[in-house]
């Protein structure tokens, strides 16, 4: 039976794109599967505790039913243990580079912006500077060899973690020790997720997640990267561009179940349409 999940970050309100994502994930679990809710609240100051309550009210308003698993902020020990294991394999190196240094030194623009050029890979760390820990992707691939993964819409994929490069797995900020890549990969395994459903904008991230699964002996789920709702100008929907918050629609008395039905049927509010042309979706 499929186990799917919706994993919102409580950094801002849910909008119509999130509603689509939650409905897709809920429906793919089907009547016999399990649809999980996981609050991804390890973004330090950006995470707002009150928003998790709002998210639950939004999902109920859409007519969805779910089982909630522990929020990421309760799982820090597991993230630390996994990072220690990767460090023990010699696959993490510390990096004190700033964003602007990376932007200035990168020669490849990858799936998620400038690809870190590996500046600190062979450099002795400066203990005086706050440092993140990065995954040595070439060394990791030498251990795992070639890997594949399966997306329900795009088919069989060769894992190409090089598209993202040596990503950060442990952030500089000690209050948010794990990056999204490490935390989400560990959580999906711990939660028994069998079908990872999320937007096509996270397609490239899966190359890294597949590598982490191989390194950490985690089960390998299948993936379903759904098309995203886009604005009339083709850009991904975003609250900051005026997409209404679900909570506002709910409080204005709109019918959430009717909204969920229209998303299922592909009937979208004015000018919005589906797109897959995001990031490096094939």
Question: From the CB of 26, what's the least distance to ligand GLU, in Å?
Answer: 14
> With binding defined as CB under 6 A, does residue 204 bind ligand GLU?
no
> With binding defined as CB under 6 A, does residue 195 bind ligand GLU?
no
> With binding defined as CB under 6 A, does residue 36 bind ligand GLU?
no
**Considering only 7-15, 121-129, 212-220, 240-248, which stretch makes contact with ligand GLU by CB under 6 A?**
7-15
Cα separation, 277 vs 235, in Å, equals 10
Among 3, 4, 7, 193, binds ligand GLU (CB under 6 A): 7
Residue 90: other Cβ atoms inside 10 A: 11
Per-residue x/- marks for ligand GLU, 151-180, CB under 6 A? ------------------------------
> With binding defined as CB under 6 A, does residue 8 bind ligand GLU?
yes
CB-side neighbour CA atoms (13 Å) of 267 = 6
Mark 71-87 as b/e (b = at least 16 C-beta within 10 Å). bbbebeebbeebbeebe
Please list, in sequence order, all residues whose beta carbon lies within 8 angstroms of the beta carbon of residue 41, skipping any fewer than 6 positions away. Answer: 9, 10, 47, 49, 52, 71, 72, 73
> With binding defined as CB under 6 A, does residue 202 bind ligand GLU?
yes
Instruction: Find the binding residues for ligand GLU in span 39-58 (CB under 6 A).
Output: 40
> With binding defined as CB under 6 A, does residue 184 bind ligand GLU?
yes
Residue of this chain nearest to ligand GLU (CB atom) = 198
37 or 97: CB nearest ligand GLU:
37
> With binding defined as CB under 6 A, does residue 119 bind ligand GLU?
no
Mark 228-251 as b/e (b = at least 16 C-beta within 10 Å). bbbbeeeebbebeeebebbbebbe
Q: Which residues make up the interface to ligand GLU (CB under 6 A)?
A: 7-9, 40, 184, 198, 202
């Amino acid at each position: 039976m499929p186990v799917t999940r919706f994993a919102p970050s409580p950094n801002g309100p849910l909008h119509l794109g999130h509603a689509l994502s939650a409905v897709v994930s809920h429906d793919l679990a089907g009547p016999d599967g399990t649809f999980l809710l996981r609050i991804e609240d390890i973004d330090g100051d950006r995470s707002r505790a009150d928003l998790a309550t709002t998210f639950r009210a939004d999902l109920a308003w859409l007519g969805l039913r779910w089982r909630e698993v522990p929020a990421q902020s309760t799982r820090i020990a597991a993230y630390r243990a996994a990072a220690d294991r990767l460090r023990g394999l010699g696959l993490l190196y510390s990096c004190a580079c700033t964003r602007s240094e990376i932007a200035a030194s990168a020669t490849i623009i990858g799936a998620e912006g400038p690809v870190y050029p590996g500046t600190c890979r062979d450099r002795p760390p400066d203990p005086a500077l706050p440092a993140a820990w990065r995954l040595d992707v070439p060394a990791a691939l030498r251990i795992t060899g070639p890997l594949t993964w399966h997306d329900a819409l795009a088919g069989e994929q060769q894992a190409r973690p090089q598209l993202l490069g040596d990503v950060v797995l442990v952030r500089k900020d000690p209050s948010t020790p794990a990056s999204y890549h490490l935390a989400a990969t560990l959580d999906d395994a711990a939660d028994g997720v069998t079908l990872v459903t999320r937007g096509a904008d996270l397609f490239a991230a899966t190359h890294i997640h597949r590598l982490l699964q191989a390194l950490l002996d985690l089960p390998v789920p299948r993936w379903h990267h759904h098309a995203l709702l886009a604005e009339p100008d083709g850009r991904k929907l975003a609250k900051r561009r005026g997409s209404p918050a679900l909570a506002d629609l709910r409080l204005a008395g709109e019918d959430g179940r009717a909204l969920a039905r229209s998303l299922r049927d592909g009937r979208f509010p004015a000018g919005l349409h589906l797109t897959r042309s995001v990031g490096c979706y094939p």
